[in-house]
Amino acid sequence: MIKFWRCYVCNDIHYGVKPPEICPTCAVKNAYVLISAREAKTICGAPAEADFSKDDFLTAIQKFTEDNEFMVNPDRAKVDLLFDGIFNNERNHGLKYCPCRLMCKELEEDLKIVCPCNFQIHETYKGLDKGECWCGLFIKRPKTSEVNP
Amino acid sequence: MKKHVMFHGRECPHCKAMMPLVDRLEKETGLSIERLEVWHDEKNADLMRSYRPIFTPKCGGQLRVPTFFNTETNDTICGEVEYEKLKEWATK
Ligand code: SF4
């Protein structure tokens, strides 16, 4: 079962079945202790109050794609429209929900549509040369030969 | 609710791309497609959720937009499709 864990040295929070052996923030070994969801919420709530703009989100997802086989769609108008939806959904519904799907009001299910979602399993992505996430925010990186013919 | 319904999201690019096709469909067939936005209207969202057992098998196990729904036959199309497919859904 997925639980919350806290690094006793730097308060890094981990959400998962088991904690990392080495804390990725402070590098201390065997540093995690199981905590309650309430504690995790309080600790995570503090930095969350800081502003996280659309530019911050773009930087975050660009960084996320760097070493992956996919990239952020270069179609800026599409990205802007999706960002409007993602940020409106966070403001109105609490999380960065996918603008091209709908929450079903069951948290476990709804966590599957928080952006970026696990889109590599989508039929619009998996096994396709020009695959993209359901919304088209992420696309498979074109092969180098396609970029420079 | 009308016979033909389109559940859509205001900031969904697929929905945006389908809108001109829906306009064309209405013009060509004289049908009227009821457009229900689901991320900014809780009533519409609840209505869409109430069709979850019908929609999800057609939509990768999830509620996705756009979803085109015929309330009489339960015929459902999910996502961006060619005009002909949309027309077939509306007229059969
Ligand atoms: S389908 Fe694309 S835009 Fe939608 S949540 Fe997944 S990654 Fe984000």
* Surface of A (18-47) touching B: CB under 8 A: none
Dist. CA A10 → ligand 1 center (Å):
32
Mean pLDDT over the full length of chain A = 92
Nearest to B39 among A85, A134, A136 (CB): A85
What is the predicted pLDDT for the residue at A48?
Answer: 57
Nearest to A101 among B10, B16, B62 (CB): B62
DSSP string, B16-58: HHHHHHHHHHHHHH---EEEEE-SS-HHHHHHHHHTHHHHGGG
User: Which residue segments constitute the domains of chain B, with CATH numbers given?
Assistant: 4-91 (3.40.30.10)
Asked if residue A144 has pLDDT above 80, the reply is no
User: How would you classify the pairing of strands A138-140 and A70-72?
Assistant: antiparallel
What is the predicted pLDDT for the residue at B47?
Answer: 98
Task: Name the residue in chain A with its Cα closest to that of B13.
Answer: A78
Task: Name the residue in chain B with its Cα closest to that of A83.
Answer: B11
Which structure tokens are listed for A149? 């013919």
No. of helices (H) and no. of strands (E), chain B: 4, 4
- Cα–Cα–Cα angle for A94, A4, A17, rounded to 5 degrees: 110
Per-residue pLDDT tens digits for A51-80: 789 999 999 999 999 999 999 999 999 999
Alpha carbon distance A73, B63 (integer Å) = 23
What's the N-to-C CA distance of chain A in angstroms? 49
Question: What DSSP state is assigned to residue A143?
Answer: P
Collapsing DSSP states into helix, strand and coil, what is residue A4? strand
- Rg of the Cα trace of chain A? 18
- Cα–Cα–Cα angle for A134, A137, A138, rounded to 5 degrees: 85
Residue % of chain A over a pLDDT of 90: 84
The alpha carbon of residue B73 is apart from the nearest alpha carbon of chain A, in Å, by: 23
Dist. CA A117 → ligand 1 center (Å):
5
Q: Domain limits of chain A?
A: 3-147
> Atom 6 (ligand 1): residue with closest C-alpha?
A117
- CB atoms A102 and B48 under 8 Å: yes
Task: Give one word for A30, left, alpha or beta, with left for phi > 0 and alpha for psi -120 to 50.
Answer: left
Which structure tokens are listed for B18? 């389908």
Q: Is the dihedral of CA A7, A12, A15, A21 positive or negative?
A: negative
Nearest to A102 among B10, B60, B63 (CB): B63
Per-residue pLDDT tens digits for B19-33: 999 999 999 999 999
